[in-house]
Amino acid sequence: MGKQDKHTMLFHLFFSVFVLLTAGIHVVQSSSYHHHRPGPSKLFVFGDSYADTGNNPKSVSKSWHPPYGITFPGQPSGRWSDGRVLTDYVASFIGIKSPMPYRWIKFAPKSLSHGINFAYGGTGVFDTLVSQPNMTTQIDFFQQLINSGIYSKRDLNSSVALVSVAGNDYGAYNARNGTAQGLPAFIASVVNQTTLNLKRIHGLGVKKVAVIALLPLGCLPQSTVLSSYQQCNKTQNTAVRFHNLLLKQAVEKLNNETKSPTFILLDLNSAFMSAFDKKNSGNLKFGFGNPLKPCCMGIDASNSCGIVDQSGAKKYKVCKNPKVAFFWDEVHPTQAGWQAVSLSLKSSLNQFV
Ligand SMILES: *[C@@H]1O[C@H](CO)[C@@H](O)[C@H](O)[C@H]1NC(C)=O
Ligand SMILES: *[C@@H]1O[C@H](CO)[C@@H](O)[C@H](O)[C@H]1NC(C)=O
Ligand SMILES: *[C@@H]1O[C@H](CO)[C@@H](O)[C@H](O)[C@H]1NC(C)=O
Ligand SMILES: *[C@@H]1O[C@H](CO)[C@@H](O)[C@H](O)[C@H]1NC(C)=O
Ligand SMILES: *[C@@H]1O[C@H](CO)[C@@H](O)[C@H](O)[C@H]1NC(C)=O
Ligand SMILES: *[C@@H]1O[C@H](CO)[C@@H](O)[C@H](O)[C@H]1NC(C)=O
């Protein structure tokens, strides 16, 4: 892989972290006659690498190269992890198959019964450092499909959405040398745009829409590497708390307007923090070691997980057992990490069904 590719991938890795909202929707063809269970039958997914299950192009994305996917499905699948990601656990909680990535629907137009995943790793509500569809464009894709008639109103009425977004907006802000003074206004504009997106998804007929509250960005290995994975960046975590506060207020306002709990906040900040705490509290249910140290990392600072040189030699190393690591690479949890996070989100996810 050339230097160019490597840089593209590094960008990807660094800025492909966040997913905000997820909504699920009922399946079109089957919901009218076969209502197997009371919950939603379809899940529509928007956002970034925390939710993407294979939309990033193979040519530019590390997620399509080893060692991604070694735990599940056993080979790279376009997921930014060793295995399953947030979307897979949310789908499983609802009791449906993980929705098909949008890029494949032209090859399997009949496989839309569980919904569609429109999330692209590296993206945000605004344009980031990757040239993949931002969240507005992802919703445009959804709207075009609805206009083409593939889902009935009734299908949409029994569907939910999941949104994971905004981490990459802040990654891009930093990379563009955004100032500390300008950050509060930028956070407000990110939350405003997110709010518009959530309303739009609901306006298209999706019954309930869940959006992530940002995880502690300052605890990602890309930040903690500076302290040998000992300390989270407090400045970054403070910005995250402000984002989450504004988002919480926006979601409450939206629910006031709809007069029902239509919009659900999935608090990744608390979920990540409690996963990290398990170690300190002696509750080793998931067996994590130092929860801040990633399983897969570059052999030196100029490399990262998944990088190989021109001759194909690996420039990364993988830990023995990803099941005892919380983080997989610089920004993404392992499957075990996502499983722990999903368990923490259970009571919030209950509002989906
Ligand atoms: C999203 O991407 C489209 C297409 O590139 C662009 O026109 C639009 O301005 C972007 N939207 C936002 C909110 O950044
Ligand atoms: C959506 O479903 C609810 C019941 O869950 C029903 O009361 C409502 O009329 C339905 N709306 C549409 C547009 O089908
Ligand atoms: C940001 O600042 C760094 C260091 O001053 C500089 O090298 C880089 O070119 C700047 N990036 C942008 C996008 O302005
Ligand atoms: C966000 O929206 C609110 C209300 O809609 C508005 O008052 C505020 O100026 C907006 N902020 C930004 C930064 O766009
Ligand atoms: C924390 O993050 C901020 C903003 O990205 C950065 O300017 C600062 O140097 C970081 N602090 C430490 C201790 O790494
Ligand atoms: C929601 O509505 C109630 C009563 O209508 C009001 O007291 C409350 O401030 C509203 N909350 C938000 C976040 O708008």
Which atom number of ligand 6 is nearest to the Cα of residue 256?
1
One pLDDT digit (tens) per residue for the chain, 353 residues = 344 444 443 333 333 333 222 222 222 233 333 444 568 999 999 999 999 999 999 998 999 999 999 999 999 999 999 999 999 999 999 999 999 999 998 777 667 899 999 999 999 999 999 999 999 999 999 999 999 999 999 999 999 999 999 999 999 999 999 999 999 999 999 999 999 999 999 999 999 999 999 999 999 999 999 999 999 999 999 999 999 999 999 999 999 999 889 999 999 999 999 998 865 544 445 556 788 999 999 999 999 999 999 999 999 999 999 998 999 999 999 999 999 999 999 999 999 88
Q: What are phi and psi of 267, to 5 degrees?
A: -80, 85
Q: Is the CB of 237 under 6 A from ligand 5?
A: no
Tell me the CA–centroid distance for residue 188 and ligand 4, in Å.
Answer: 7
Taking CA atoms only, the protein residue closest to ligand 6 atom 5 is: 256
Q: Is the CB of 157 under 6 A from ligand 2?
A: yes
Tell me the CA–centroid distance for residue 163 and ligand 6, in Å.
Answer: 24
Which atom number of ligand 1 is nearest to the Cα of residue 133?
2
Strand partners, 308: 314
Tell me the CA–centroid distance for residue 144 and ligand 5, in Å.
Answer: 41
CATH C-level class of 3-273: alpha beta
Residue 37: the pLDDT is 56
Q: Is the CB of 177 under 6 A from ligand 3?
A: yes
Return the structure tokens found at 311: 């001759």
Tell me the CA–centroid distance for residue 256 and ligand 2, in Å.
Answer: 19
How many whole angstroms separate alpha carbon 211 and alpha carbon 263? 7
Which atom number of ligand 3 is nearest to the Cα of residue 177?
1
Whether residue 87 contacts residue 119, with contact meaning beta carbons closer than 8 Å, is answered with yes
Cβ-based burial of 313 (10 A; exposed 0-12, middle 13-18, buried ≥19): exposed
Residue 88: the pLDDT is 98
Residue 353: the pLDDT is 81
DSSP output for 75-97: S--SBSSSS--HHHHHHHHHTSP
Taking CA atoms only, the protein residue closest to ligand 6 atom 4 is: 256
Q: Is the CB of 302 under 6 A from ligand 5?
A: no
Give the number of whichever ligand sits closest to the CA of residue 249: 6
- The catalytic residues are 49, 329, 332
Quick one: the chain helix, strand, coil %, rounded to 5? 40, 15, 45
